[in-house]
Every structure is written in structure tokens, then in C-alpha cells.
Amino acid sequence: MTAPTRPEVTVREARDDDDLDALNAGNPQWFGQEQQRHTAAAAPAGAVLVVVGELDGAPAGYGFGIGAAVAVGGYGVAQVWVPAGLRRQGLGGALLAHLFDFVRLAGRPGVMVSVPDTEPDGLTVARHLGLSERGHHVESTLDLTTLDGSSHQAALARAAAVGVVLSPLPQDATDAEWERVYACLSTRMRESPDASDGGGDMPYGVFRSVVAEPWQVLLAERAGEVVGLTCLMPRADAPHRLNTFFTGVRADARGHGVSTALKSEHARLVRTLGWQEVWTQNMDQNVAIRTVNARLGYRPVGGSRDLGRAFS
């Protein structure tokens, strides 16, 4: 009996007519075709590569790479997804290898890949390609119908006691106001555990492609300066879900419950707009923000492993 032949595996750049949502069916890290295309278009030329993997000429997998210093150590990023029924034919490895070449040629010293805890196949492929575990993110979710009013008021009062006032971005926010938000966010991102030893840079256009509406931002201000902020973004997996894009507080304003107040107040504001859940992902070692999440009632629901590889 003749053994069945393996399908031909090819990788190409994504086209406008590709159904990226279909290729990402079941992907817990997918934020939707519209958002993905918008973000890629907003990035500096050559910074992002979106690819489609094919089996015998038929689209069967998806991947994207970021050739900018957005991860720990100034590394780039590669992410792939192959639907469960199309795996174990070499497509995931081919997609990752293609993206590794892109990130390397962009001048990055290495690459980071995130693999959901629920995807042992992805973990196997990543390790086979020489990646090793560098960290872990816990994913948690908050049911907006169960917010604790007493802890919310206590958080607001504690922040106010040190002169911190929370304010949403105006609905008619000017470019200057958006740039002020971006300046604070960029600095806070560079201080986060995710950006240790370099990384964390995000072009303004990419930020605005993800955080497009004023209601997605809540600021903490003191004496006219922005000392903290939190930003939310819609998720693609359910119309009632939001995801935390970023929360950060300036060092001299920490220790006064400002993060708790920001996350709690923003949750209440978006609940009035009809949103029902907020999801977030935080590194295991980011004890401060995980403590805040627990205080607000976030419930852990999973996570993802961060794997990295330095280029020789």
C-alpha cells in the first residue's frame, strides 16, 4: 500500500481577499480581521508582516510578525495559528520560520512567541524551532455586573487624598490631547515588566488604530499632569467583551491605589455603555497589578506562555 503523500506547504503574504477570521477560528488570541488589518496598515512601512500558510494551494493557517522592538530585550514578535484539523503537516513550523526570517532581517536580536496554555501543539512546534520559555501571562476576566461599590469608593477616595483626579478623555478630544495620552502611555509601557531590557515601543499610528475612541481611555491627573492611565479595546470573540490594552501609573504616584481606582472607574464607565466583561493578561511576576485585579473581582481563566529565541 502506498503511503499518503504530505500536502505541499507554502507561505505567502496575506491578500485583501483572504478571510483571516476563518483562518483564526478558535484562536483565543485573535482580535478580529478588521482590527488586525487596521493595525498593520497603521504601522510604519515594513514593520509588520501578515502571512497566510497554504496546504496544496488552499489557505490553511495565519501568521503575523512585528520587526520592531516591542518585546523584552528589544525582540520582535511572531504569532501563528493553524486550525486544529489542519495541524501536524508542517504548516505551523513553516509559518514561524518565515516570520523568524522577517524579524531577523528587520534587525531584531531575537523573537518572542506567545502560546496559549491550551495549545500543546503550538508549544511543541515552538520548542522544536529552538524557543525556550521566558515567562507566563495569566488571563483574567471581570464580570461588570458584579462590581463592588464599597471598594470602588474607597479606591477613589484614596487616590483623591493625594491629589489624583480621574477624568475620561473628552468625546471631542483634539490631536494634542491624544498625543498627551500617547506620551504617558509610551513612557509607562517602557517601565512595564513586558518591556524589561528594552522593547515596549509602539508607534503612535498603531496606538490610535487600537485605541480609536475617547471612551477607551481613562486618565489619572495630578496638578495638571497625567500620572496614570488605563485603556481598553474591544475583543473579537464576543460583542460584549473588552480587553485591557494597558494600565500604568507613574512611579511617584504609585502606592496610593491609583491603578485600582483607574481600573474600577473605567469598568463602571464602560458598563454604562453596555459592555459586560473586561479581560486582561498580566505577567506572573507583575504582582502589583495582579493584586489590583483580585481586589476588583477579576477571575483567572487561563494564560499563555512566552517563548523566546535569540538570533545568532
DSSP string, 183-251: HHHHHHHHHSGGGTTS-----HHHHHHHS-SGGGEEEEEETTEEEEEEEEEE-SS-TTEEEEEEEEE-G
- Check residue 196 and give its pLDDT: 57
Same CATH topology for 9-130 and 139-303: the answer is yes
Is the Cβ–Cβ distance between 129 and 103 less than 8 Å? no
Residue 224 falls in which region: left (phi positive, over 0), alpha (psi -120 to 50) or beta: left
The domain locations on the chain are: 9-130, 139-303
Long-range pairs, 3-9, Cβ under 8 A, ≥24: 6/89, 6/90, 7/55, 7/56, 7/89, 8/54, 8/55, 8/56, 8/57, 9/53, 9/54, 9/55, 9/89, 9/90, 9/91, 9/94
Amino acid letter, 110: G
**Fold for domain 9-130?**
Aminopeptidase (3.40.630)
Q: Which residue has the cell 495620552?
A: 181
Separation CA 59–CA 208 (nearest Å): 30
Q: What pTM was estimated for this model as a whole?
A: 0.88
Q: Could you please report the per-residue DSSP string of 49-114?
A: EEEEEEETTEEEEEEEEEEEEEEGGGEEEEEEE--GGG-SSSHHHHHHHHHHHHHHHTT-SEEEEE
Separation CA 29–CA 177 (nearest Å): 30
Q: What's the residue count for the chain?
A: 312
- Check residue 195 and give its pLDDT: 57
Q: How many Cβ atoms sit within 10 Å of the Cβ of residue 300? A: 13
Round the average pLDDT of the chain to a whole number and report it.
Answer: 92
Amino acid letter, 13: E
Q: What are phi and psi of 131, to 5 degrees?
A: -85, 145
- Check residue 244 and give its pLDDT: 96
Separation CA 180–CA 207 (nearest Å): 12
- Check residue 229 and give its pLDDT: 97
> Cβ contacts of residue 26 below 8 Å, gap of 6+?
83, 84
The C-alpha cell of 118 is what? 491550551
Q: How many Cβ atoms sit within 10 Å of the Cβ of residue 37? A: 16
Is the Cβ–Cβ distance between 266 and 218 less than 8 Å? yes
**Fold for domain 139-303?**
Aminopeptidase (3.40.630)
Nearest to 132 by CA among 308, 311, 312, 310: 308
- Reported as a single tens digit per residue, the pLDDT across 198-247 is 566 788 999 999 999 999 999 999 999 999 999 999 998 889 999 999 99
pLDDT band at 191 (very low <50, low <70, confident <90, very high): confident
pLDDT at 150 over 90: no
Of 130-134, 153-157, 194-198, 298-302, where does mean pLDDT reach its minimum?
194-198
pLDDT at 44 over 70: yes
- Check residue 193 and give its pLDDT: 66
Separation CA 229–CA 259 (nearest Å): 8
